Each structure stands twice: as C-alpha cells, then as structure tokens.
Amino acid sequence: MARPRHDNLMAKDFLDEIIAQRTRKNPRFPDLVAEADRRRAIARELAAKRTNAGLSQTLVAARMGTAASVVSKLEAGADVKLSTLQRYCAAIGQTFPPRLTKRAA
C-alpha cells in the first residue's frame, strides 16, 4: 500500500477543497479568505517595519499601553480594532494608515 504524499501539492488540494465546501455554504467565503490574506500581508509588513526599527514586541506593547500578546496577535494578522492598529503604527513610528509596499496593499 502506497503512503500518501504530504507535500505542498496535497496541502493545496485540501485547502482548495475546504474553500470550495465553504463557498457552497457561503458564496462570500472567497472574499473573506482574500481579506484574511491581505490582513496577514499587512501584518507581516508592519512587523518587518518594527523589526527594522529595532523595536521589540514588548517595547511596542508598552508604548501602546497593552500586553505583548496583543502585539503578537496583531502581527500574526488577527482581526484587531482600528484603534489598536492606529496605536501600533504610532508605537513603531509609522503614520496611519501605514505606507505599505504594493504587494501588501
């Protein structure tokens, strides 16, 4: 008996299947997936800006008056309040809305 392949192709096929199933239940699901991807891209870019500025998550959290776990979740692309994103940008020395490269926008 052949063992199943566990590579990116199999993961992609499984993901496509899940998206198709969810889309049948909610036709807006692909839009929700796209928005989540965009949010994660923005979060990655903001995290890179923080790192390039030499700031730790703990320091940024202190500047924001919040817990480091909030900064970690924000940088992971979690759905956060607009006010939290504004405070994060201020804490890392960025304007709001942040100036992002084309790939994240």
pLDDT tens, residue by residue, 24-33: 999 999 999 8
Domains of the chain: 8-91 (1.10.260.40)
pTM of the model: 0.71
How would residue 5 be classed by pLDDT, with cut points 50, 70 and 90? low
- CA 8 → CA 12, 36, 57, 77, distances in Å? 6, 20, 31, 22
Q: Counting every residue, how long is the chain?
A: 105
pLDDT tens, residue by residue, 31-48: 998 888 888 888 888 999
